[in-house]
Amino acid sequence: MAPEPRPNAAGHLDDDDYPAYTMGRAAELIGSTPAFLRSLGEARLITPLRSGGGHRRYSRYQLRIAARARELVDQGTPIDAACRIIILEDQLEEALRLNDELRRHEDRPDRHTGS
CA-closest candidate to residue 46, choices 54, 31, 57: 57
Predicted TM-score (pTM) of the model is 0.75
- Note the pLDDT of residue 6: 46
Tens-binned pLDDT, residue by residue, of the chain (115 aa)? 544 444 555 666 677 888 889 999 999 999 999 999 999 999 999 999 998 898 999 999 999 999 999 999 999 999 999 999 999 999 999 999 999 999 998 888 765 555 5
Q: Give the CA distances from residue 98 to residues 10, 33, 92, 108, 114, in Å, rounded to whole numbers and listed in that order.
A: 32, 36, 10, 16, 23
Q: Where are the beta strands (DSSP E) in the chain?
A: 21-22, 49-50, 56-58
Dihedral angle, C-alpha 13, 19, 24, 28, nearest 10 °: 50
